[in-house]
Structure 1
Amino acid sequence: MGVMSVRLNDETTAQLDALAKATGRTRSFLAGQVIDDYLAREVWQIAEIEQAIEEADAGDFLSSDEMSNLFEKLGTAKEGN
């Protein structure tokens, strides 16, 4: 397990202290959880973007008719109406 120092502004420190007290967890634990959650979300988002770029590069798009059918199925108004 790695150890690192982080500088936080006073408001963030106060919020972290309050949350630690309310949850019975340490500031270190909560900060680690926040970093883990952030990294997981960012890794997921980057993977989704990369997949979308691959699909776009491959020309993997819906036709106009397929898009219209999807809008009808979802009950969504067509753009411009």
Structure 2
Amino acid sequence: MSGITLNRPEELSNSLADLAKTTGQSANYLTRDVLRDYIEHEKALTTQIELAVKEADQGKFVTGDQVAAMRARRWSTR
């Protein structure tokens, strides 16, 4: 395992320490957990963006009517 040094503003450091105390987890564990989640989220988002760009380059777009129908379905259930 490799290590990193992370300089945190005092407020963030205090919040992290409080959360660690509340959850019974170490600040290092929580930091790794958040970093892992962030990386996975960004990887998934990047993949989705790359796919969307590829589809756009191929001329695949939805019509205004399709967008309106999607909006109507989404908002009609709320």
TM-score scaled to structure 1, two decimals?
0.79
Give how far 1:4 is off. 1.2
**Matching of residue 56 in structure 1 with residue 56 in structure 2:** yes
Find the counterpart in structure 2 of residue 10 from structure 1.
10
Return 5+ residue gaps in structure 2 as ranges: 74-78
Q: SS at the partner of 1:75? A: helix
Task: Give the number of aligned pairs.
Answer: 73
- Aligned identity (percent) is 29
CA 1:62–1:20: 2 relative to 1, 3 Å = same
Give how far 1:72 is off. 3.9
Q: CA RMSD in A?
A: 1.8
Higher normalized helix content (fraction of residues): 2
Greater Rg by CA: 1
Summarize deviations over 1:5-63 as a string: whole Å, max 9, x none: 11111000000000000000000000000110111111111111110000000011234
Find the counterpart in structure 2 of residue 71 from structure 1.
68
Return 5+ residue gaps in structure 1 as ranges: 77-81
TM-score scaled to structure 2, two decimals?
0.82
Poorly superposed stretches of 4+, deviation over 2 Å: 69-76
